[in-house]
Structure 1
């Protein structure tokens, strides 16, 4: 065979090998024709359906729904009680359309975060048909572009939706062409994601038991459907498994949770126009990325969350709304609190009247035999709930994420807010609600801003080094497992309790007196006003409590006209008048200037078709931001502990003066507790509870003062709003020095904590031991430890890395001589804490146990800096070494002034001398 023939044969063979591999289209027709055909590929189900004669795939509609009860509405529901099935009839024009889903925990466990009424999440969903199934889809609303554009096509391909379930089609109606799907698998699955959260909170694995789970009720209405699932959970099954101990359950191995699902139609062509947000004013936001806009600064579009409020008569200066915002008082609210709740809701009408709305908000009472449920999305409710270990309130709302329109809102309030804080209750709270805190035995709040009090600083400082296990959160922005959305909390209840004690001690008011009832009324009214503010779209404003001067706080001519605070959206404390001053309002009776301004921005009617057309009018409103009463700071601002006017449960624009007042009040209350507690026949535990309540109050105000050191006032307004004003303004040096002086006098001075032995020996713990309460493990009261903990928390905050870094930076941010420097802080603390040694006043040095403990804490902190065992700026380390060297030099002389019989002081000073010497030597050797 010739070489050419051999080559052609080889080529032909090669081509024949390539053909089955998919290269047939590359071959000439004549060669392709000579090649045996490859095996035909299998057809997909869709291709089979197209190519073969249509076969009956579904059972007849009437046969599938036989025996079921039909409920017509948005989606017609067919519930078969015998089989447990629930079918929904979806019309052809209801496919590929957005609807709103809302999930609510209708029944809980009453402890450990599992409480009735908690929102489990809300989200948009769409029914999409794919082959013989209906996909339950959550559309991706984070990225948007104008429909029909190339960018819109790119967005569709770049970002995915979320398909949570595929519902099999059971039948198609022959005339209506509507699709029948079985909702049972979706609604009895763990759609809310309860299982991982239960495992985390209950510290044990619980799973859904299908044999105990079922669909309870299903109702359909023209604009929504309401369905309730009963989930039976079981735990402790299997070899070696143990259920968690749940005190509120008769048997911890099993419990039920009820979940309410609300599926509703989104409003269409209802006249609502989204409104753009402004960071000078605090609203919750619905945000998305506009990928049609190439301007980097404009990538996000932010709409405020608000109700669709329109005037019935747009031409009238004041008009009733077309559709008022109606809140229903649930029939669980105690009768004695309903007037206060009603007043708290209606306080907001003053703000709406100023922008032209008459009775924008209405309040109605839910009948005792109402034929609707509070979780029904058609009703905005205020609900009371009970638990064994929770004190909080919350005002969440359901929002259309496409526009920011609020569609539904419910307020939850713990019944425990206005109950006496007895020891059995407090102990359970501290065991469960605070168990995740690093100093759980001492802290009085948990890691979120709603229960944060004194604990937040410690948690913030330790969070970088001490990683707490992550708590799994439910899907869809759920509130269960997400306590950032809970309001007030245990600290608010403690404010209420201290005010209650002050009223009793300073004014001899009895629990059943009109004065005490009015006090409770004031507290509940402000609490409700705060939560209603959230349901109107408003975020926290932790600058609101700084509006008045201390001397104005008890002038009711001022407070009942303008408010005790600039905003009810702050966490406002009880206002206790200083000794010798007539008591004014305990809590604010009106919404403040900031609240009215925020409502003006969010709800002023503006005749504009698109949001951008409103900007000129809205900017004019927002430019008032520099007015002192309109200052705004929210959760992200308070957690930095930078601005001494931005705190929770603080009061007045001069916290230095007000703090001294409250510390004086606390000391006076301790004296009265010593003299008057317990009452005849009462337990000595009452003394311990009262002592701790006052101690917490004292602790709270001690920590406020540290923010002055290296602090800066932060302003949110924009360039041009206020000439000559900048975002950051340093706290004047005189105020920083005054804050240190107050701390020296009230925290680092042992005389502040001189209690009589008789008083301390009254502090007996509760000894009840049964479900729901456990006796304290320590019978005696750890007075030294508690005082040292207070002092060490303040000291640690003053010497924290952030504080010292701010002092270092202040040297560049202020004019020469106007900044407190690191050496001054260290020198002031050392003089205050070690003054007995540095400058002994008498012939002899004798140090008490409290003094020795504080000195040791200060010394250990500086040694840790010097030995690089803690974070600190380098300049702070060198100053710490210098201060230790100065102290070391004075200890030799001080030890000669100690009585030989005073072994405590002698051993303490010798140890300090040796430890400082070794630390200084180790520092030099390491270099």
Structure 2
């Protein structure tokens, strides 16, 4: 035992004490690294092939640099989100030496004192914590240079894959060091950055369905994680203050040197560094143009469409006074996509359709964008093609429709590329733009399908350029002003000119369908008026369903797959329902500044709210909801090796067979969930409190009950749909009355509505389906906690059919987009 203890101490000593010569001095770097492969560059490193180690040479102490991890190869599941090319968080770090150790320290740039007084700056620095990312033992040194073992730092789960797998309930995984190693082909040193890549393996038990669908052995998940150390930009970048009237992401920090009379929180936008060669010229070439490079692994004709859509942004920079300042090229064969010098558009494959992203690597000190990084999911184009297939497809002897479907899909890709690149230029979503004549590619537009006689016309499905708002936003964010110009005044003038053109900005927080209130700010909508567009969309849906036949799928295709084309046609109105629901209790507003002349806030007129209510009630009419008879006879159970659990078909209560009440229930649940959203209901209560002639929650509930419960009872298909609606409305109202987060006034009015329903149906409850509804309401009255209601069948996934959760990864100071499926 004593011998083992001595041996352990000896091994510990030789592992953690710097290698020394016989005279006792520390080995020199040249001696220690003899025979190793040297990679000189921004941070020079040595590869020790015998031990599988990376030895880092440090000669820059107390010098700040940028570090960020990323995923070089992903998992392939949109739901987990660990995608190829995903960027991690940026960190300003510096190496600090203390005796035989070197610490990798991150200063706290969230709290600063922008002051020339060193004591004032020190007071802030010592008031808030810093972060030490790693500690290294010095193994050799030479002059002012030291050598450390970087390998353990590189062989960690730097992107947080373990947490993402756990967050998505895919199992409990841990890092298996025995299955991790450096990946040398992508570990390189460049003049401005040094890149390292490692093969990382996570092991765990009971992997979830998402992992099982994409990993060959799901208990062993292997990916490649990348580490970037980057030289910070040279001085000279001029930060631009944020203006809430124009959309830009950016940075925020507390400046404790700010006079008490001024805001202590400073907000600046994120943008690329761009300067005119001649600032006095109306149009000038750039000192250094912004160049984006497309992944050469993108196939044609998609490659050309993406390059064309990306190149649209040069129109905006021309409007801002730059000549050829924005360019797009194919990534050179010898270029490393992880090299900081390349703004990259990457083509990424997943097992299911998923989101695309526009992220950026930024300098957290200033907001300067150092590298734009776009991730485009390859299966998205197939969903666009599927929608076009349902609208105009006709697989018989005529093949003209194939070109039409492909054109719409490629036009969508052009806009998608422009959208995601726009995020990497600093722009968030602008969801009001679709109501302003499709003024921005930063909106989420659905295709504009028009009724033309008895058919659908897709000739104007998507715009083929950036919009007017996009040009004004780039002018505001990137305009280079001559010396002596009052920049703040000039920027305000640009905003006022933009407003004079009828262009404004509202973003994610204003557009979410459940809780937001602006009647013209939505995801996936079109048109200047949400109610009119819902009615128009319902007409398109009517024509699409009347034209639906087995010719929507090619000959030789299993008939069961007809449902996958049917789903987006049946739910073609779904996003416009979300838009129209926001008119109820809606409020029109702008991001107004005091004195800028913009309208601040007003309630949607009562007549418009009543129009919205009528249009929404039309979406729960049994005749509207009925599945065409042809389809009920044409969709058999899924055949062998065609998963019955695919997310692309309707959920059902009939086992393997198609459920004729499944689509109506999903559509009804969507409308009722939106109309009876607790926040929306509260706004309806409040607006009538202040304006007695306005639409109130009591009016909405009365119309719902009148529409649903006063239809004749019969045993037809539409009668069964009506019975389902009767039950779902009662259950939704019971859930709202029990919702402790809802306001007391809302719960009171809903409680009264339930008693009205009971009074209305109780006389015939014994001999009709109203018996269950009466029972549920009585149970709710007597013992609410014991009231049992069934969940509503949810619609198949809709999003992403256009751009998705994208820009939040790389931009600061804005609300993150939600994951919605």
Q: What corresponds to 2:818 in structure 1?
A: none
Match for residue 558 of structure 2 among 655, 660, 683? 683
Q: What corresponds to 2:37 in structure 1?
A: 69
**Deviation, structure 1 residue 682:** 2.5
Q: Is the 8 A contact 1:684 1:762 kept in 2?
A: yes
Is 1:632 matched up with 2:595? no
Large movers: runs of 4+ above 6 Å: 241-244, 506-509, 770-777, 844-847, 917-923
**Deviation, structure 1 residue 287:** 1.1
Q: Map residues 139-538 of structure 1 onto 2, 5 A cutoff.
A: 139-145=107-113, 146-174=115-143, 177-201=144-168, 203-217=170-184, 218-236=187-205, 246-269=212-235, 271-295=236-260, 298-367=263-332, 370-419=333-382, 493=383, 497-504=386-393, 510=399, 513-538=402-427
Q: Is the 8 A contact 1:144 1:290 kept in 2?
A: yes
Q: Map residues 57-96 of structure 1 onto 2, 5 A cutoff.
A: 57-91=25-59, 94-96=60-62
Q: What corresponds to 1:753 in structure 2?
A: 625
Q: Is the 8 A contact 1:108 1:114 kept in 2?
A: yes
Partner Cα distance (1:666, 1:886) in 2: 35
Q: What corresponds to 1:439 in structure 2?
A: none
Q: Alignment partner of 1:569: what SS?
A: coil
Partner Cα distance (1:805, 1:506) in 2: 50
Q: Is the 8 A contact 1:188 1:229 kept in 2?
A: yes
Is 1:797 matched up with 2:674? yes
* 1:605-654, Cα deviation, whole Å (9 max, x unpaired): 12469xx9632222222334644642211112223321121111000111
Partner Cα distance (1:869, 1:216) in 2: 53
Q: What corresponds to 1:836 in structure 2?
A: 711
Is 1:856 matched up with 2:730? no
**Deviation, structure 1 residue 921:** 8.3
Structure 1 residues 602 and 871: CA distance shift in structure 2, 3 A: closer
Partner Cα distance (1:661, 1:95) in 2: 65
Is 1:575 matched up with 2:448? yes
Q: Is the 8 A contact 2:429 2:442 kept in 1?
A: yes
Structure 1 residues 877 and 288: CA distance shift in structure 2, 3 A: closer
Partner Cα distance (1:914, 1:197) in 2: 44
Structure 1 residues 279 and 350: CA distance shift in structure 2, 3 A: same
Partner Cα distance (1:773, 1:388) in 2: 15
**Deviation, structure 1 residue 281:** 1.0
Partner Cα distance (2:398, 2:535) in 1: 25
Structure 1 residues 510 and 645: CA distance shift in structure 2, 3 A: farther
* 1:818-850, Cα deviation, whole Å (9 max, x unpaired): x1122221221111111237xx9x9x9998211
Q: Is the 8 A contact 2:173 2:203 kept in 1?
A: yes
Structure 1 residues 834 and 297: CA distance shift in structure 2, 3 A: farther
Partner Cα distance (1:849, 1:681) in 2: 34
Q: Which stretches in structure 2 are left out of the alignment for 5+ residues? A: 1-22, 785-821
Partner Cα distance (2:222, 2:698) in 1: 61
Partner Cα distance (1:830, 1:705) in 2: 20
Is 1:644 matched up with 2:519? yes
**Deviation, structure 1 residue 774:** 7.0
Partner Cα distance (2:156, 2:218) in 1: 22
Q: Which stretches in structure 1 are left out of the alignment for 5+ residues? A: 1-54, 420-492, 549-564, 896-903
Partner Cα distance (1:680, 1:341) in 2: 31
**Deviation, structure 1 residue 766:** 2.9
Q: Alignment partner of 1:262: what SS?
A: strand
Structure 1 residues 668 and 221: CA distance shift in structure 2, 3 A: same
Q: Map residues 5-16 of structure 1 onto 2, 5 A cutoff.
A: none
Q: Is the 8 A contact 2:356 2:375 kept in 1?
A: yes
Q: Is the 8 A contact 2:358 2:375 kept in 1?
A: yes
Q: Alignment partner of 1:206: what SS?
A: strand
Q: Alignment partner of 1:229: what SS?
A: strand
Q: Is the 8 A contact 2:36 2:46 kept in 1?
A: yes
Q: What corresponds to 2:4 in structure 1?
A: none
Partner Cα distance (1:509, 1:658) in 2: 32
Q: Map residues 620-769 of structure 1 onto 2, 5 A cutoff.
A: 620-624=493-497, 626-627=499-500, 629-639=502-512, 640-674=515-549, 676-677=551-552, 679-722=554-597, 725-726=599-600, 728-745=601-618, 747-769=619-641
* 1:783-837, Cα deviation, whole Å (9 max, x unpaired): 31331232133223322321221012113554x52x1122221221111111237
Partner Cα distance (2:347, 2:615) in 1: 41
Is 1:787 matched up with 2:755? no
Q: Mean Cα displacement is larger for which, 163-172 or 615-624?
A: 615-624
Structure 1 residues 571 and 869: CA distance shift in structure 2, 3 A: closer
**Deviation, structure 1 residue 295:** 2.8
Q: Is the 8 A contact 2:408 2:458 kept in 1?
A: no
Partner Cα distance (2:204, 2:86) in 1: 23
Partner Cα distance (2:262, 2:508) in 1: 23
Match for residue 908 of structure 1 among 757, 761, 769? 769
Q: What corresponds to 1:810 in structure 2?
A: 687
Partner Cα distance (2:417, 2:481) in 1: 29
**Deviation, structure 1 residue 719:** 2.3
Q: Which structure has the larger Rg?
A: 1
Q: Is the 8 A contact 2:580 2:616 kept in 1?
A: yes
Q: Alignment partner of 1:126: what SS?
A: strand
Partner Cα distance (1:394, 1:178) in 2: 40
**Deviation, structure 1 residue 910:** 4.5
Q: Alignment partner of 1:395: what SS?
A: strand
Q: Alignment partner of 1:630: what SS?
A: coil
**Deviation, structure 1 residue 735:** 1.1
Structure 1 residues 682 and 389: CA distance shift in structure 2, 3 A: closer
Q: Alignment partner of 1:180: what SS?
A: strand
If asked which structure has higher relative contact order (CA below 8 Å, sep 6+), I would say 2
Partner Cα distance (2:758, 2:176) in 1: 68
